Amino acid sequence: MGKDKRKKMHLSKMYSIRRNGFEEDLSQIGGKGFSRVVHCNENGGLEGINLQNFADNYVRSTKYTPVTFLPKSLFEQFRRVANFYFLVNGILAFTPLAPYSAVSAILPLIVVIGATMVKEGIEDWQRQQQDHEVNNRIVKVHSGGGDFITSQWKKLKVGDIVKVEKDEFFPADLLLLSSSYEDAICYVETMNLDGETNLKLKQSLDATSSVNEDSKFNNFKATVKCEDPNASLYTFVGTMNFQEQRYALSPQQLLLRDSKLRNTDYVYGAVIFTGHDTKVIQNSTDPPSKRSKIEKRMDSIIYFLFFVLFLMAFLGSIYFGVVTKDDLDGSRMKRWYLRPDDSEIYFDPDQAPMAAIFHFLTALMLYSYLIPISLYVSIEIVKVLQTIFINKDVHMYDEESDKPAHARTSNLTEELGQIDTILSDKTGTLTCNSMEFIKCSVAGTAYGRGVTEVERAMAKRINGEDRFDEIVTEAYSHLSVKGYKFEDERITNGRWINEPHSDVIQKFLRLLAICHTAIPDVDEETGKVTYEAESPDESAFVIAARELGFEFYKRTQTSVSFKEFDPKSKKHVERSYELLNILEFNSTRKRMSVIVRDDEGKLLLLCKGADSVMFERLSKKARQFEEKTRDHVHEYADAGLRTLILAYRELNEKEYEEFNEKFTEAKNSISADRDDLISEVTDQIENDLILLGATAIEDKLQKGVPETIDKLAQAGIKIWVLTGDKMETAINIGFACSLLRQGMKQIVITLESPEIIAAEKAGDKNSIAKVSKNSVQKQIAAGQAQIYASKSDAYALIIDGKSLAYALNDDTKNEFLELAVGCASVICCRSSPKQKALVTRLVKEGTGKTVLAIGDGANDVGMLQEADIGIGISGVEGMQAVMSSDIAIAQFRFLERLLLVHGHWSYRRISSMISYFFYKNIVFGTTVFLYEAYASFSGQPAYNDWYLTLYNIVFTSLPAIALGVFDQDVSARLCLKFPLLYQEGVQNTLFRWRRIFSWMLNGLFSGIIIFFLCMKSLNPDSYDKNGKTAGMEIVGATMYSCVVWVVNCQMALAVSYFTLIQHIFIWGGIFLWYLFLIVYGALPSSVSTTAYKVFMETLAPAPTYWLVTLFVVIASLIPYICFKAVQMRFYPGYHGMVQWIRHEGRANDPEYFQMVRQQSIRTTNVGFTARSIARDKEFEWHLER
């Protein structure tokens, strides 16, 4: 079907499409919310309409612009309380109150803020590059005179006429004018919008369908009046004035941005909405500034330290004020060295209150070393390096799509280790959009030896190995047909004629070849037939029929032709059935039928549909295979397969004529209840059916999905599925990936009760809303009662989009969340993008837990941005989700390693690193405070200015960074073997207040030990052989050396996994301290001040210095060593037990290994492990019976 000729198929006559049906109430056009006026094909001359009133087609997903980067980035930095404090501190350092130089105070802040802003800028630049790719895509635009030129998407304007060709995305929201089909239909794939892979049929107005060639647009003019931009994907109200006639527009004529043209050579469309006015972008929100829970708690710790700092400064200042007031007792001076008799205000006894206030400000600056200024920038560095490890992980690289994992932001790596709930899209995320015919049941006999992903995963779980591998590889080595994975020698290659019920098999396969709406495309050179179908299911059916000898090859408006093997003549014959009617599938009917006349003149109704509606429509005399077929359908569902029941009946002429008259009348109706009229007529004819059998199709999951879900469930992570797909499809996928299983009780919330249907027919919107809301509330209450009545059972909650709209109301959402949290699985069907985002917000805010959302389409953008972490699937078409995500991966299965390995490591590393930072600063701050107290709170620092400045930046930060980047409590293999390790992050065991305070207490004890041992050891005895006593510079340098040694040795004790880099950083930090002392001390005394030659001439030659350092370091670390020894030996945590496996070399001890591993398998109702356990229990129950 080339592009140079018009397709002749009048498909509108096969369907019940309404092209120019009744006009709805269009009086609202021109009013509020319906004021948009578009002049089509005006090429910029819009007759008084200012084009600037409309948005351009440029789309931006970046966080900053060149104008907002500096102010917004600075705001991001200074909303961190520590950074703001150090800004104020830096300003005060320029006053005489400062106990140190201004440069030494302000330089660290500039380094910290500058490094963070550079990182933010680079990340946003990468987002801008992705925006650039989308905005510069090419489309053909009418330039006048019937000529179409290529133009970039971003240059499109409202009113432009564009030509979109097969397999291209629509660049904006377009009004369909005509297509390559003569009756102006086109097929559209909306996977990026609603997640559905089945194609949608769109059709233009009759009036514009003849404008179907480039040259015909030379004089084309039209005016569209329609609704203003809004987020509703499924509605569109408007009119078109064309050739002095007014036509009503409906969603049938609207082609949405980011949907894709399929099975149609080309379409022409007029641009209605552009850029951020398009419906898909209206459904998204601005990229939020996400902060991890650890970072938020870190702010709380900083606030606590501020409180301690202020308290210390306040108490010290009161003491200082009291003592200063008493400094002069007549002519006697108590603190003569402060010269209170000839002092400025800072030490003047007559102005003691002011002296206390000034001391308070000085103390605030001096004690600022309790607050780790380099903590934030160190965390930023660590997170960037962690994201590089994620990006470079070969185990998360997908060879097929050539795409590695890509962390698009580094702010949230530790959040990956704290996920409580995963909200997942279905299509393109759990599935790979590939249906395969794998099994069937005909005349009560099961056929097909295929093995599903679920069966394979369960077998691997039970037996420890994949026993199907060798069998399946051999059986399917010759099968290379997409959509067909069926193998059974009993009916393949024409051998079905030897089966006991060969006549039923023949009718079954004929039904597969006839009952569908697929279009065949025959290659003229090879004669090979391919099919263009509305859904992957239909494609799989016709391919299966072809491979089994019933090849559908031709369709006209009135006939369906196929080739089949004739048992009588033993030859392949061509048959042509007259196609009379197609009774379409919809979610209410749950079935589709065709009425045909065979080559013998018999009238046949061929029907396929869901078992829930088909079995009740069977004739009482034609149920001989029903029991066995039901059993087979049950088995297929348990294996994760999508099933349909196939049945037929013969019609007599009179019966058909009566039906056809009513059907035609209902189809041509222009009333609001047209669909209900059609449904009533079809219900009457689709009865007394004769059962043929059932089909079983595998909705091909992405590789490793069941195993991943099972492992995540063992890790204690809850998994919800939010999909735009219909309920039946979502339930089937739930079974396929083991979120659902046989025996799990389903709580289904839907609005399909007779009461609601009657209200909808009445058409009163208020009445419909009231009845629907009451119904949803009753169903939620009933579900809660059901769970409370039997808490031991496993429940699954399944809710459709209409019900979800009422469940998310403010007065209902808490009850809905309570019900959902009480269920093992939750599946939300027919969810709009807005609803996905609202559910995500409800779970995040309602539970207070960390929520991860994962999806692949533009319909998932709101959900990804609303979640604590958004994961975009980059392995499928469309970049909208990836561009709005925090991390992109190619396959759902990579989520297992991303969370259980990288998430666990990142959480543990960041938590330990932050705890260590507070520890080392409290050690340092304690010595500063105690020395100032020792110096009568005079504001005298214990250390040189540059000692103070470089402590956090140089001597102690690098080991902490190495801990945050390289440390591993257990290996990646053990993380995956023992998924319960992940619960450390979910329960936040490593960053709860108790653990943080224990590290602070450790720091306090270490600081006290260092100060008092140093002071007692160095005073008042002589320091060297010349009898010289230790002065302030010697005491300060010795105490500082002890602090550097203690905090770095403490790091060495805390590390679980040493690398060369960690050794270099830990011992290198100590080496740098001594190198600094030598170099800085060699500078002139005007520069080095108290550090002038203090090491080379005083410290190094004195044995006392080295003995004191050794003794103090050992004494400071003994409490921690004793505590960890007792804990690991007598009270090991779960991760401690796993560490013993590694340290004691018991990884090859299967008995011990299995004992520990059993503790990691949580009691769960989700995954194939749960399915296997449930089957074992059922089997034991039957044995007991």
In this predicted structure, the answer to whether residue 463 has a pLDDT above a threshold of 60 is: no
Strongest mean pLDDT among 248-262, 419-433, 473-487, 1018-1032? 248-262
Q: Which residue has the higher pLDDT, 667 or 1081?
A: 1081
Question: Which helix H or strand E contains 579, and what residues bound it?
Answer: strand 571-583
Structure confidence at residue 104 (pLDDT): 72
Give the β-pairing of 332-333 and 328-329. antiparallel
- Tokens of residue 1132, six digits: 């090991």
Instruction: Say if residues 1028 and 331 touch (Cβ distance below 8 Å).
Output: no
pLDDT band at 668 (very low <50, low <70, confident <90, very high): low
| Residues 70, 834: Cα–Cα separation, whole Å | 32
Tell me the three state secondary structure of residue 978: coil
- Return d(Cα 458, Cα 1170) in angstroms, integer: 10
Q: For 123, phi and psi rounded to 5 degrees?
A: -65, -40
Catalytic residue check, 425 = yes
pLDDT in tens, 748-799: 998 877 777 666 666 666 777 888 888 899 999 999 998 888 777 788 999 9
Residue 746 and residue 798 in contact, taking contact as beta carbons nearer than 8 Å: yes
- In the structure, what pLDDT confidence band is assigned to residue 24 with cuts at 50, 70 and 90? very low
Residue 1008 to residues 161, 313, 928: CA-CA distances in angstroms? 78, 18, 10
Angle, helix 1134-1143 to helix 1150-1158, in steps of 10 degrees: 160
Average pLDDT in the 571-595 region?
A: 86
Structure tokens at 1067: 């011992």
Beta strands in 1010-1114 (DSSP E): none
Count CB-CB contacts under 10 A for residue 360: 18
Binned at pLDDT 50, 70 and 90, residue 47 comes out as very low
What would the DSSP string read from start to end of 639-685?
TT-EEEEEEEEEE-HHHHHHHHHHHHHHHT--STTHHHHHHHHHHHH
Q: Decide if pLDDT at 538 tops 60.
A: yes
Confidence check: pLDDT of 952 > 60: yes
Per-residue pLDDT tens digits for 890-913: 889 999 999 999 999 999 999 999
pLDDT at res. 2:
41
AA letter at 921: N
Confidence of residue 1172 (pLDDT cuts 50, 70, 90): low
- For the CA atoms of 1030, 1034, 1038, 1044, the dihedral, rounded to the nearest 10 degrees, stands at 160
What pLDDT is stored for residue 20 in this prediction? 46
Helices (H), 136-257: 191-194
On whether the CB atoms of residues 166 and 262 are closer than 8 A, the answer is yes
* Pairing verdict, β 238-242 and 445-447: unpaired
Q: Does the pLDDT value for residue 844 go beyond 90?
A: yes
| Sequence-separated (6 or more) residues with CB below 8 Å from residue 1161 | 714, 979, 980, 1169
Return d(Cα 493, Cα 510) in angstroms, integer. 16
283-287, 733-737, 1088-1092: which has the highest mean pLDDT? 1088-1092
Least confident interval from 267-271, 285-289, 1109-1113: 285-289
Regarding pTM above 0.85, the answer is no
**Whole-angstrom distance, CA of residue 666 vs CA of residue 680:** 9
Given a cut of 50, whether residue 1177 has pLDDT beyond it is yes
The C-alpha atoms of residue 347 and residue 320 are separated, in whole angstroms, by 9
Assign 1 a pLDDT band (cuts: 50, 70, 90): very low
For tokens 């001391």, the residue is 359
Structure tokens at 205: 């107005």
φ, ψ (nearest 5 deg) of residue 259: -85, 170
Residues contacting residue 282 through CB under 8 Å, at least 6 positions apart: 229, 230, 231, 276
- Looking at residue 473, its pLDDT comes to 42
Taking Cα atoms as reference points, which of 1164, 1171, 1149, 1182 lies closest to residue 462? 1171
Mean pLDDT of the 344-366 span: 78
Q: Give me the count of residues in the chain.
A: 1185
Give the whole-angstrom CA distance, residue 662 versus residue 1085: 107
Distance between CA atoms of residues 941 and 936, nearest Å: 12
**Is 90 exceeded by the pLDDT of residue 1103?**
no
How far, in Å, are 431, 573, 879 from residue 466 at the CA level? 21, 43, 36
Task: Quickly list DSSP for 765-795.
Answer: HHHHHHHHHHHHHHHHHHHHHHHHH-TTS-E
User: What's the CA gap between 485 and 476, in Å, rounded?
Assistant: 7
Of the pLDDT bands very low, low, confident and very high (cuts 50, 70, 90), residue 9 is low
How far is 20 from 248, CA to CA, in rounded Å? 7
Which amino acid would we find at residue 353? P
- Residue 163 binned pLDDT confidence (cut-offs 50, 70, 90): very high
User: Of the listed 425, 710, 967, 969, which one is catalytic?
Assistant: 425
Q: What is the pLDDT of residues 819-840, one digit of tens each?
A: 999 898 999 987 888 889 899 9
Mean pLDDT of the chain: 82
User: What was the pLDDT predicted at 74?
Assistant: 87
- Contacts within 8 Å (CB) and 24+ apart, 1157-1160: 1157/977, 1157/978, 1159/980, 1159/1134, 1160/714, 1160/977, 1160/978, 1160/979, 1160/980, 1160/981, 1160/1134
Question: For 935-943, what is the mean pLDDT?
Answer: 80
What was the pLDDT predicted at 49?
46
Angle, vertex CA 509, rays to CA 505 and CA 512, nearest 5: 145
Closest by Cα among 168, 108, 177 to 140: 168
Taking the CA atoms of the chain, what radius of gyration do you get in angstroms?
Answer: 37
Q: Which of 592, 610, 456 is nearest to 514 (CA)?
A: 592
Confidence of residue 340 (pLDDT cuts 50, 70, 90): low
| pLDDT score at 472 | 47
Q: How confident is the model at residue 471 (pLDDT cuts 50, 70, 90)?
A: very low
CB within 8 A of 910, min separation 6: which ones? 294, 379, 382, 383, 413, 414, 964
**Higher per-residue confidence, 239 vs 24:** 239
Identify the helix (H) or strand (E) that includes residue 1062: helix 1060-1082
Q: Using N-to-C axis directions, what is the helix angle for 375-392 and 81-92, rounded to 10°?
A: 140
d(CA 283, CA 195) in angstroms, rounded, equals 14
> Would you state the structure tokens that stand for residue 144, as one six-digit string?
């006048």
> Could you tell me which residues are beta bridge partners of residue 1177?
none
Share of the chain above pLDDT 90, in %: 31
d(CA 279, CA 230): 6
Rounded Cα distance between 876 and 464, Å, is: 32
**Per-residue pLDDT for 21 more than 60?**
no
Instruction: Tell me how far apart the alpha carbons of residues 322 and 338 are, in angstroms, rounded to a whole number.
Output: 15
